Amino acid sequence: MALMAGIARTVISPPLDIPNGMWVAQKHVRAEGLDMELLATVLALADGKRRLALIDLDLCFLPDSVDKAVREAVHVSTGIPSENVLPFCTHSHAGPPVLEYYRGEGEDRAHMYKEMLPHWIAGAAVRAVEALKPARTAAGVGRSEIGINRDLRHEGRFLVACNPDGFFDPEVGVIRIDQADGKPLACLVNYGCHPTVLGPGNKLASPDYPGSTRKIVEQVTGSTCFFLQGGAGNVGPIETFVADAGVARRLGTILGLEAARVYLELQTRPTERKLRNVIASGAALADYENVSLQTPEPCLKFAREFVQLPTRSPFAEVYEKSPERLAEWEGKLKELAARGGSPEQLAEALQHVTREHVRTSRMHKYQGKKTLPVETYAIQLGDAAIVTISGEPYSEIGAEVKRRSPLPKKTLFAGYEGGDMMYIPSADVFAFDPPPMEVDNSPYAPEAARIATEHLVNLLNHVAAAPAEITHSSSFTAG
């Protein structure tokens, strides 16, 4: 069966009376306005009876409970197996805290929003499946410099800043999906850079730069834009932690224009220019026509596997001591509430309590385990590919996987898939004392990046070499 694709969207902007923002340093709890709508975009893919649903969410990340609820809601509504439902977060820090452990001001509204998300997304998934049509694909790459390595060593410690000497993958991956008749359907844009243009001082709910990237791509191409966050673990924007949403819009526009340029240069049905006629004029003028070439119909192949990544023992101190800090900050929050602390004091204490709840829950879940199972996916659409891993991978991992892909320059690398995502740093940064904050906030051992890279390359090769009938290979093991 030929590849089929359908795409649909729903708005997931939060009501502005719930907490907003993902910064310990912020002095506010609730947003004061909306910069741009937050969106959930669902791309349905099918080939005969096999179906996938990819979901682009303007959220920072999903806890395991929400990830599971989204997959189950889409499964119930569409029949797509829950393991074939892939929620991706853009990782914007300027949206609502969709957390299991959020406590304090506005928690009832925040939890209500979290509970509604799966239903909104499932509705969009139904419409995407209903819109399935025969499709063709083409892939290409561009380049953008709106990102930069963010691990800056300064006076003996690391800052989350701009490090022009550090590694950064500037590649902009694009997959163009057209209907069989050539009408535009979707434009997948892949770029690895934290959406942290907007920082603690921002008081607007916003998708950060991916919002304006989508908007520009759609204005230029007529396709619905689907954003896939790449290897952004150690990459941030060149202008960062500001309070002006206009900066995020400008950087997103720059990226969107590059993605649109790549899209417009792609042909999903290749053609050959042939001389049709000679026009007599002051000179003999060549009259050309584009003749479509016969090419195989694209098919859909995919495989889902879990890679076992080794953990550290003990975990970093920020995890090992998180239960103590949680008790300390819960006590401070209770004391501030009792004596009428300022909104700024309450907001800071609440952010600390929320963060330490997340760390403590991870300690209870992962402590004592030698490895952690991490979800990965490889998807081939015609001669284009998408490879994914749950977590926040360093830029080096994504660049190496794409370089070694059996479909070079036509492979998108995406992190931030699924629930409870954690940093996957490259081995070299573990040697620093103190290390960058991504190491402190990672449960993984230094060799995890190498193991993840080898697994993803092998998974891509496995899918590329498999017959079109492949749907899932539970026996596959990375070398």
pLDDT digits (tens, 9 = 90+) for 51-97: 999 999 999 999 999 999 999 999 999 999 999 999 999 999 999 98
**Whether the Cβ atoms of residue 67 and residue 320 lie closer than 8 Å to each other:** no
Residue 64 is predicted with a pLDDT of 93
**Whether the Cβ atoms of residue 227 and residue 213 lie closer than 8 Å to each other:** yes
**Interatomic CA distance for residues 129 and 295, integer angstroms:** 26
Residue 476 is predicted with a pLDDT of 42
Which segments of 240-318 are extended strands (E)? 271-280, 284-292, 300-310
Residues 6 or more apart whose CB falls under 8 angstroms from that of 424 comprise 233, 309, 389, 391, 392, 393, 394, 397, 415, 442, 444, 448, 449, 452
Residue 24 is predicted with a pLDDT of 78
**Interatomic CA distance for residues 338 and 345, integer angstroms:** 12
**Interatomic CA distance for residues 316 and 310, integer angstroms:** 14
**Whether the Cβ atoms of residue 148 and residue 239 lie closer than 8 Å to each other:** no
What are the CA-CA distances from residue 393 to residues 138, 422, 427, 438 (Å)? 26, 8, 12, 10
Residues 6 or more apart whose CB falls under 8 angstroms from that of 115 comprise none
pTM higher than the cut 0.75: yes
Closest CA to 390 of 45, 64, 9, 100: 64
Low-confidence ranges of the chain (pLDDT < 50): 473-479
DSSP state of 282: S
Residue spans of alpha helices (H) in 339-447? 343-366, 395-404, 437-440
Q: Give 124: exposed, middle or buried? Use CB within 10 Å, 0-12, 13-18, 19+.
A: buried
Residue 314 is predicted with a pLDDT of 83
Q: Specify the 3-state DSSP secondary structure of 12.
A: coil
Sign, CA dihedral 432-435-439-440, equals: positive
Residue 479 is predicted with a pLDDT of 32
Residue 4 is predicted with a pLDDT of 97
Beta bridge partners of 205: 34
**Whether the Cβ atoms of residue 186 and residue 227 lie closer than 8 Å to each other:** no
**Interatomic CA distance for residues 236 and 375, integer angstroms:** 24
Residue 470 is predicted with a pLDDT of 56
**Whether the Cβ atoms of residue 122 and residue 76 lie closer than 8 Å to each other:** yes
**Interatomic CA distance for residues 127 and 10, integer angstroms:** 10
Ramachandran region, residue 418 (left: φ > 0; alpha: ψ -120 to 50; beta: rest):
left
Considering all CA atoms of the chain, what is the largest pairwise distance in Å, rounded to the nearest integer? 91
**Whether the Cβ atoms of residue 191 and residue 173 lie closer than 8 Å to each other:** yes
Q: Specify the 3-state DSSP secondary structure of 172.
A: strand
